[in-house]
Amino acid sequence: MKELGIGYAHGKIILMGEHAVVHGLPAISLPFYGAYVKTTVTSTHDQSTIHSSYYDGLLSDVPQELKGIAILIETTLNYINKQDQAIHVDIESTLPANRGLGSSAAVSVSVVRGVISAFKVELSEDELIELVNVAENIHHLNPSGLDVNTVIADLPLYFRRDKEKRHLPLKLKGYLVVADTGELGSTREAVADFAQTLHNNTDMIARMNRIGVLTEETLTSLYIGDMSQVGKAMLETHAILRDFSVSNDTLDRFVDTAMQYGALGAKLTGSGQGGCMIALASDEKSAEHIALRLRESGAHQTWYYNLEGQQ
Ligand code: MEV
């Protein structure tokens, strides 16, 4: 193989409905273009190799963190009938890992895209998702599919596990601020903790169902452009997620800081227990100010962007 293959994937932001989505309730997510993953595939002799920030060496010897990716590469090569080809896979990422921004799904998507582009093969969206799920199932055990579907989406997404996937051609108003706590979250553990808190607890089941109601209301608010209502729903959702022990002190502090400096709403995004917080701001000046205050308050990195540019 002489050809070079390159695959990209952007990140994802869950606006509403994380965790509840695992249990069948709706979620609304957004593509996140602030950071991305790029995979370059070249030919090699002998045995396949991989280079990433975690590891540089033979594909057959990858450490535990990369097992899912190694299996994904083999599965993809098998799927396109190139199992006998030795390749070198180089993964570069500006998406911080384990921060709720979809890094693991984005790495998988960019790897599959890189491999298929190297062999000039095209896959349907369903085939891509099915392949990526090989790695997601290894990393997360019980993924809802929201992450993968969002990192391949170019529009906001309304998603219900195994039921509905609707791209939303919305002209969203306002700015979104994203702040990285710098603390690593584990989706696997957070999803398990959420499920444990939920188990046979009617009060917590009702709290989770409230997230579902808030997500549906948010969809309406987005359609009518009522961003202050979206902000209120985000804030209430954060309080519920905190009751499920999937927030932490830093995320709570960031939410307070964002609200103190004029955000319309704020919440954790993704699986939580670390990772990132998002805040909704009415305009660019407000977003810039909130981002600055969050950095002063300890955020490792912040991004903000106009939601209108989303589509
Ligand atoms: C993780 O980004 C989102 C969760 O809802 C898990 C999932 O949907 O699989 C916490």
What are the pLDDT digits (tens) for 173-209? 999 999 999 999 999 999 999 999 999 999 999 999 9
**Is the minimum distance from the CB of 22 to ligand 1 under 6 angstroms?**
yes
What are the pLDDT digits (tens) for 103-155? 999 999 999 999 999 999 999 999 999 999 988 888 777 899 999 999 999 99
Is the pLDDT confidence value at 251 over 70? yes
Q: What is the per-residue pLDDT for 310? A: 63
Is the pLDDT confidence value at 311 over 70? no
Poorest-confidence range of 35-49, 126-140, 245-259, 287-301? 126-140
What are the pLDDT digits (tens) for 53-95? 989 999 999 999 899 999 999 999 999 999 999 999 999 999 9
Is the pLDDT confidence value at 1 over 80? no
307 CA from centroid of ligand 1 (Å): 22
Count Cβ atoms within 10 A of the Cβ of residue 204 and give its class: 0-12 exposed, 13-18 middle, 19 or more buried: middle
Is the CB of residue 174 less than 8 Å from the CB of residue 243? no
Poorest-confidence range of 3-7, 122-126, 260-264? 3-7
Atom of ligand 1 nearest to the CA of 102: 2
**Token code pair at residue 52:** 């990433």
| The pairing of beta strand 49-51 with beta strand 56-58 | antiparallel
Is the CB of residue 43 less than 8 Å from the CB of residue 24? no
**pLDDT-based confidence at 3, cuts 50/70/90?**
low
Q: What is the per-residue pLDDT for 47? A: 94
Mean pLDDT for the stretch of residues 42-61: 94
Separation of alpha carbons 156 and 37, rounded Å: 19
Atom of ligand 1 nearest to the CA of 191: 10
**Is the minimum distance from the CB of 25 to ligand 1 under 6 angstroms?**
no
What is the residue-averaged pLDDT of the chain?
95
**Is the minimum distance from the CB of 136 to ligand 1 under 6 angstroms?**
no
**Is the minimum distance from the CB of 17 to ligand 1 under 6 angstroms?**
no
